[in-house]
Copies of this chain bind each other. A is one copy, B any other.
Amino acid sequence: MLPAKLLKRPRAVISKDDRRWLTIAATLAERGRPSSAPNPAVGAVLVKDAIVIGRGWTQAGGRPHAEAMAFAQTGQSARGATLYVTLEPCAHHSERGPACADLAAEAGIKRLVVGVTDPDPRTAGSGMERLRAAGVEIALANDPACGMSLAGYLCRTRYGRPHITLKLAMSLDGAIATASGQSQWITGDLARAHTHRERARADAILVGGATLRSDTPQLNVRLPGLEDHSPERWVLSSHPTPDGWHQLPAVEELGRMAPHQYLFVEGGSSAAASFLRADLVDRLLIYRAPILIGGGKSAIADYGLDDLASAHNIWSLSARRQLGRDTLEVYDRTPCSPE
């Protein structure tokens, strides 16, 4: 017989099926990115007898929440169901709608599986606590897919800055241009289209001042159907900023970007070095063309690496795919910043 203390709150068991439903919820959440801003892009799935009876994701501007959308689809049938949600349901009332924890209690769900807890001090465990008090079985998964899906929100809440992706498009020998400055084109059409899709997932794009002056990049999204998804354009520069551009005088002033969750840094080599020097890069997106340039312009300027040993064990390969002849590699900071 186990001591009463251990029996009182049984350890939540997360099954493989639970992980699968959470992954589906995280995939749904992607539909709210980045339109859910300033709210996190959350995904929710209501499951009863292994059948999905409701689905939701945070709507544009942040409301309705993912759970509210799912419950709106189910009505009475949610009684006895399991709610899978990437982020702990909110516990605070708002002028814009009821707390999701209350919605879930009223709907009569039997079980709640949460991807990650909400670090927002207004929730921070109280969403789960309220449902536990209402007799709902609670399981916290600490699920990596959900954490990754909420990386921007978690960075914003924990560190007061957006999640930062550094994009690099380069040759096999790490050049982003020839010695004479020619850079069009290194990667092909598919890689460029993919970059535009990544832009559309960000709240803001940034380039360095030198890149802005020399390349006058548009940095907009030019994919059919996504033309209105172009994020804010920022320049890392202490110089006056042209119309249509926001100014970030130094990476230390990233607070200016609030409430943005996702920043996409597109270079050049000095801007990349500024973010790396401050250890402010969470993710690398490397588009690599199968060409050799030789003596070209390096992708990354000196960022103050003093010893080769300290360059290791920082980046973990999380995805690799072909984009025509080019290869895309995604590396995440180790340990992943949001964890």
- Which 6 A-B residue pairings sit nearest by Cβ, starting from the closest? A174-B174, A295-B302, A291-B311, A294-B303, A294-B300, A173-B174
B294 x A172 contact (CB < 8 A)? no
Provide the bound-state CA to CA distance between A185 and B309, in Å.
7
Interface residues of A (CB under 8 A from B): 168, 170-175, 178-179, 182-186, 272-273, 276, 284, 286, 289-296, 298-305, 307-308, 311-312, 314-317, 325, 327, 331
Please pick, from B182, B290, B312, the residue contacting A307 in the complex, using a CB distance under 8 A. Answer: B182
Inter-chain CA distance A291–B314, complex, in Å, is: 7
A298-B295 CB under 8 A given contacts A170-B174, A290-B317, A315-B290: yes
A174 interface neighbour in B171, B272, B273, Cβ under 8 Å = B171
Q: Is the CB of A276 within 8 A of B292?
A: yes
Least CB distance from A333 to B in Å reads 11
In the complex, the answer to whether A178 meets B308 with C-beta atoms within 8 Å is: yes
Among B172, B273, B303, B311, which residue has its beta carbon within 8 angstroms of that of A171?
B311
Q: A305–B293 contact, CB under 8 A?
A: yes
Q: How far is the CB of A154 from chain B (nearest CB, A)?
A: 23
Whether the pair B292, A300 counts as a contact (CB closer than 8 A) is: yes
Q: Which residues of B contact A173 (CB under 8 A)?
A: 168, 170, 174, 298-300
Separation in Å of the A51 CB from the closest CB of chain B? Answer: 39
A314–B172 Cα gap in the complex (Å)?
A: 12
A295–B300 touching, CB < 8 Å: yes
Bound CA span A95–B200, Å: 73
If over half of A's interface residues share one DSSP class (helix, strand or loop), that class is named, otherwise mixed; here it is loop
The answer to whether A174 touches B299, judged by C-beta atoms less than 8 angstroms apart, is yes
Q: In the complex, A294 Cα to B277 Cα: how many Å?
A: 10
A291 and B312 contacting across the interface, CB-CB below 8 Å:
yes
Residue numbers in B under 8 Å from A291 (CB-CB): 308, 311-312, 314-315
How far is B302's CA from A292's CA once the two chains are assembled, in angstroms? 10
A304: chain B residues within 8 A (beta carbon) = 294
B174 with A302: CB separation less than 8 A: no
* In the bound complex, CA of A331 to CA of B312 (Å): 25
On chain B, the residues within 8 Å of A284 by CB distance are 172, 292
Whole-angstrom distance from the CB of A146 to the nearest CB of chain B?
25
- A184 and B296 CA atoms in complex are apart in Å by 23
- Measured CB to CB, the closest approach of chain B to A208, in angstroms, equals 14
| Interfacial chain B residues near A179, Cβ < 8 Å | 302
Q: Taking A182-B308, A294-B300, A302-B295 as contacts, is the C-beta distance between A175 and B174 under 8 angstroms?
A: yes
- Cα separation A296 to B311 with both chains bound (whole Å): 12
A183–B307 alpha-carbon span in the complex (Å): 10
Query: Within the complex, what minimum Cβ distance (angstroms) separates A25 from chain B?
Result: 30
- Shortest distance in angstroms between A304's beta carbon and chain B's nearest beta carbon? 8
A311 nearest CB neighbor, chain B only: B291
